[in-house]
């Protein structure tokens, strides 16, 4: 088997591999090709030094990626997975990404995988421990979230171009209350939003206070017939006003107006928001774990 860094031409092969793995582990494909392109075009990410692909006669059979900080990804195509016992190829890739992350200063590296799936079992056997759990939630067919009126003087709508930096600040400030990572730049934010393949302006939603300042926002993604809220945040001094629920109603209504029939989001155990989403009628359809290991010394 050939081992080499991935190139931009490998994006479709990586997508196909992840899609096959998700279908095998979770019964549903969540990834989009646009996700991979967005990750790889993010400023500061170097594809040549941050990825390793393994190829057999049929093509890409496994890969690993250090996305940055304490975050990475790896997977083995179902056709290359073992029916029982430890997988030496997965173990090799897990060690590679851990050493790489440690060499770049990360004290640990975590990989997200479907709970109970192949990677979850294999990484667990290698000593990678669960550091958090995340959930994909979806509205049941035909259901909707109860409207939440905005306070007097507040307005909701599509983010204007000049409001994108404010939207990014609101999201970063909120996420960094619990996420252990460096602050992302506006350029990194744009790689996953305005520069992401398939982006449409309606996918960025904001709430403005009576003075016109952006105090809450949502970043949405459209995946076929699904409107997916990728990020949702409210400025600390504007919480408790129902702005997040109002944004959910708004985002899903915008998706419905454009033909979407499924409405989803994800959250993890660091946020404490699971009960909020369950309380507005959403249902857990998929559970994922983040398995991490202290990176070994070289």
* Angle at which helices 11-26 and 118-125 cross, to 10°: 90
Strand partners, 219: 204, 231
Which tokens go with 222? 């459209």
Exposed, middle or buried: residue 132 (CB in 10 Å: 0-12, 13-18, 19+)? Answer: middle
Where are the domains positioned within the chain? Answer: 2-136+289-294, 155-281
Distance between CA atoms of residues 24 and 27, nearest Å: 6
Among 3.40.630.30, 3.80.30.20, 3.40.1360.10, 3.40.640.10, name the CATH number for the domain at 155-281: 3.40.630.30
**Which pairing describes strands 59-68 and 214-223: parallel, antiparallel, or unpaired?**
unpaired
Strand 59-68 to 71-76 pairing: antiparallel
Judge contact between 208 and 155, C-beta under 8 A: yes
Q: What are phi and psi of 206, to 5 degrees?
A: -140, 155
Give me the CATH topology for the region 2-136+289-294: Aminopeptidase (3.40.630)
Is the Cβ–Cβ distance between 68 and 45 less than 8 Å?
A: yes
pLDDT tens for the 298 residues of the chain, in order: 999 999 999 999 999 999 999 999 999 999 999 999 999 999 999 999 999 999 999 999 999 999 999 999 999 999 999 999 999 999 999 999 999 999 999 999 999 999 999 999 999 999 999 999 999 999 999 898 888 899 999 999 999 999 999 999 999 999 998 887 889 999 999 999 999 999 999 999 999 999 999 999 999 999 999 999 999 999 999 999 999 999 999 999 999 999 999 999 999 999 888 998 999 899 999 999 999 998 655 5
Instruction: For residue 174, give every residue at least 6 positions away whose Cβ sits within 8 Å of its Cβ, in sequence order, or none.
Output: 233, 234, 235, 236
Q: Distance (Å, rounded) from C-alpha 27 to C-alpha 21?
A: 9
pTM over 0.85: yes
283-294/262-268 β-pairing: unpaired
Of 136, 175, 97, the residue nearest 289 (C-alpha): 136
């Amino acid at each position: 088997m050939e081992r080499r860094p991935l190139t931009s031409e490998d994006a479709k092969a990586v997508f196909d591999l992840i899609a096959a793995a998700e279908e095998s582990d979770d019964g549903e494909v969540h990834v989009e090709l646009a996700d991979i392109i967005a990750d790889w075009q993010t400023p500061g990410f170097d594809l040549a030094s941050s990825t390793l692909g393994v190829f057999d006669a049929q093509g890409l059979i496994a890969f690993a990626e250090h996305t940055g900080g304490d975050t990475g990804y790896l997977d083995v195509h179902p056709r290359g997975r073992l029916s029982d016992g430890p997988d030496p190829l997965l173990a090799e890739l897990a060690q590679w990404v851990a050493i790489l992350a440690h060499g770049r200063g990360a004290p640990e590296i975590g990989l997200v995988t479907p709970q109970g799936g192949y990677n979850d079992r294999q990484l667990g056997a290698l000593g990678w421990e669960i550091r958090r759990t995340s959930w994909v939630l979806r509205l049941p067919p035909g259901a909707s979230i109860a409207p939440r009126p905005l306070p007097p003087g507040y307005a909701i709508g599509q983010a204007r171009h000049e409001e994108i930096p404010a939207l990014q600040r609101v999201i970063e400030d909120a996420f960094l209350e619990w996420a252990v990572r460096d602050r992302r730049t506006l350029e990194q934010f744009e790689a996953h939003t305005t520069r992401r393949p398939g982006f449409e302006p309606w996918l960025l939603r904001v709430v403005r206070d009576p003075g016109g300042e952006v105090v809450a926002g949502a970043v949405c993604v459209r995946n076929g017939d699904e409107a997916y809220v990728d990020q949702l945040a409210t400025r600390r001094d504007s919480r408790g006003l129902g702005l997040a629920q109002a944004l959910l109603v708004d985002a899903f209504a915008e998706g419905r107006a454009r033909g979407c029939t499924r409405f989803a989001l994800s959250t993890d155990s660091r946020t404490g928001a699971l009960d909020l989403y369950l309380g507005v009628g959403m249902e857990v359809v998929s559970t994922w774990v983040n398995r991490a290991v202290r990176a070994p010394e070289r």
